[in-house]
Copies of this chain bind each other. A is one copy, B any other.
Amino acid sequence: MPVTDRPYHHGNLRTALLAEAERTVRERGVQELSLRELARQVGVSHGAPRRHFPDRQALLDALAEAGFARLGAELRIAIDGAGEEFEARLHATAAAYVRFATRDAALLELMFASKHGKQSGALHEAADRAFSVMLELIEQGQAEGILDHGEPERVGLVLFATIQGIAALVSSGMVDAEQLDELVADATAHFVRGSHAAA
């Protein structure tokens, strides 16, 4: 079973397509992503991807799902590496989120855009897992009396909106790398102060 000489069955076609697609999205944007070009780059006929992704949107959904998985993993690493203190963990998580947005702006946009659509189930679960890191953080803040009580989803919404907004400002070029760290620090401190006064 030769792996060279282009065997009839690719073997990892799905994985190869996803990897190549993620690279294209990062380097050239979602608009430039073409199923036919992807097939060419991977060395397969233009009809082949159809087995794995019925249409273009299915590929985008799969990219979004993988994106949420990676985002969740990066947030997890950030929060676990930030010690025990609430504010330190909050800042580390926000910074990790914004870092993801900086490196994969088009992917993040796609991740949010894909959530409108057919609600693929797996996509929704991947998103929930990514955001569970934030929910744990909110629960810690509540347990320590730093944040309001009530549903963590609701309490965390302002925080999440702010972080997502910062990501959007960076992606759109309204905020550049220099201002970024300061803005993240500002925003997290602001959030904590605003919550504290309400207690």
Q: Does A186 contact B (CB under 8 A)?
A: yes
B161 engages A166 (CB within 8 Å): yes
Q: Does A196 contact B (CB under 8 A)?
A: yes
B175 engages A157 (CB within 8 Å): yes
Contact-residue size bin, chain A (C-beta under 8 Å from the other chain): 35 or more
User: Can you tell how many copies of this chain the complex includes?
Assistant: 2
- Chain B nearest Cβ from A116, distance in angstroms: 6
Please measure, in the bound complex, the distance between the C-alpha atom of A175 and the C-alpha atom of B116, giving whole angstroms: 12
Chain B residues with Cβ below 8 Å from A193 are 193-195, 197-198
Q: Which A residues between 143 and 179 are near B, CB-CB below 8 angstroms?
A: 154, 157-158, 160-166, 168-169, 171-175, 179
B183 engages A157 (CB within 8 Å): yes
Q: Mark A95-114, 1 if CB is under 8 A from B, else 0.
A: 00000000000000100110
Chain B residues with Cβ below 8 Å from A175 are 157
Q: Does A13 contact B (CB under 8 A)?
A: no
Q: Does A191 contact B (CB under 8 A)?
A: yes
Q: Does A62 contact B (CB under 8 A)?
A: no
Q: Does A129 contact B (CB under 8 A)?
A: no
